[in-house]
Structure 1
């Protein structure tokens, strides 16, 4: 049997990523990564070594680490993720930030296409005074989102099955947020990397990637309070088009915010 230090060195070389090797080995052993510092000389039994090798094989075939582990941290929240949900990404935290600065005390928030619940739960964790509604057309995704809400103890989040606004009646919200599908159908990136394993319905949206953003914008004024904000994440080259869509639906004061890589990432506008 090989010691932990050697196992990690060999796995890191095979994957080309030390962090991924540590995460997968920690998962196989049922420990956290800090454990390795005190146990570098330890050896593991054949059963756990075989389990780790199986995880490495899955990763080598391209399966995202988040799906292998069944979790991904977002806004410091440990979230369950499955192949039924998009994997939460750090750049989406910008959408949460923009929502929080525009949400009035005791306000109402709607998260359209919630997936794992990442955005809705991040907002709820920061603003326990707010009422948060999260919708998704995927029943499988909502099962995951509800488990995340329950495990985190975030009780003021209502999870509802809905195709965008379809099940919401005449409800109105102070802030509507969404990280909708915005990749162009047929984009070669859909066949590369982690995207190959994520639900296509959460990624692609028509020839220009904007079909779902158009639907969201079209229904926004009927579901926003006077002066309420619509905020959406989008691709780096879509900001001008999204602002035009918002303006065409009668939304005003459109703006775009860049992420940490100086890429246009979130666009918002208000109902007036």
Structure 2
């Protein structure tokens, strides 16, 4: 992989990016340049509008006027450092156990960072990234094109539709999405028949309790999603017949609330 992140004007035009692609050789973190005055004005108008378009704010977040006008550190890229502590080793272990040309599905792929990581790491893999946010898919396609990754395709699609397709996959990645669902356990069940190899999971969890049977939906302060614990997620996996190969947890320091701050990771088969 390239060590120096290259600036690309097309990438810059689609800022702000969910992930930092620097490790893949592409600059997507532009610091204070992350939002132009024109973009600030556009977002201010949308912020004041009673109807917000899909993808205007990411998955339940609130966009403040202070964030708009002064800027603030990208919480997703802050959290990315914590997530990669487990996700990259889990992906490496999973890919090492799979056939030489694995079929991979990246659910909730956002801007396609992990799809691109797999594509750079294993050029023979066949990767499909799925997200409901059309703008994120636009970013994913552009990033893959700029990086010269030809073995990854991306589509705008509802997650439930994606898992009901007849295709099967050697590797399924489900990062950053379970806690946005009202019925996350149902998705874990739906992934069983389409996963022939490994499942890699990351999800935000609550740190307010460790009780396995804790579950609330919608998530606190949201109108959608859910919250659960590490023990609860592990219990679902066992009940559904998944074998946990590796697990881990840490804190997402970009998230201030205890109900969002925990993060769980599982490598299953």
Both proteins in one fold, TM over 0.5 = yes
Please report the TM-score for the alignment, with normalisation by the length of structure 1. 0.56
Partner residue of 1:257 out of 248, 251, 256:
248
Aligned-partner Cα distance in 1 for 2:187–2:22: 24
Q: What secondary structure does 1:73 align onto? A: coil
1:144-175 per-position Cα deviation (integer Å, ceiling 9, x unaligned): 11111111111100112221251451111111
Unaligned runs of 5+ in 2: 1-6, 30-54, 60-75, 208-228, 253-261
Following superposition of structure 1 onto structure 2, how do residues 106-117 of structure 1 map, counting pairs within 5 Å? 106-117=101-112
User: Cα distance 1:241–1:157, how it changes in 2: closer, same or farther (>3 A)?
Assistant: same
Identify the residue that residue 190 of structure 1 maps to in structure 2.
none
User: Cα distance 1:68–1:108, how it changes in 2: closer, same or farther (>3 A)?
Assistant: closer
Q: CA deviation at 1:259?
A: 5.0
User: Cα distance 1:224–1:158, how it changes in 2: closer, same or farther (>3 A)?
Assistant: same
Identify the residue that residue 233 of structure 2 maps to in structure 1.
242
Unaligned runs of 5+ in 1: 1-26, 31-65, 184-203
Identify the residue that residue 90 of structure 2 maps to in structure 1.
98
Partner residue of 2:189 out of 213, 218, 233:
218
Q: CA deviation at 1:119?
A: 1.2
Larger Rg: 1
Q: What secondary structure does 1:106 align onto? A: coil
Q: Which has the higher contact order (CA 8 A, sep 6+)?
A: 2
Q: What secondary structure does 1:132 align onto? A: strand
Structure 1 runs (4+) deviating above 4 angstroms are 66-69, 79-86
Following superposition of structure 1 onto structure 2, how do residues 113-124 of structure 1 map, counting pairs within 5 Å? 113-124=108-119
Higher mean alpha-carbon deviation, 110-119 vs 166-175, is at 166-175
Please report the TM-score for the alignment, with normalisation by the length of structure 2. 0.57
Equivalent pair of 1:74/1:118 in contact (CA under 8 Å): yes
Aligned-partner Cα distance in 2 for 1:158–1:69: 21
Identify the residue that residue 180 of structure 1 maps to in structure 2.
176
Identify the residue that residue 44 of structure 1 maps to in structure 2.
none
Equivalent pair of 1:243/1:255 in contact (CA under 8 Å): no
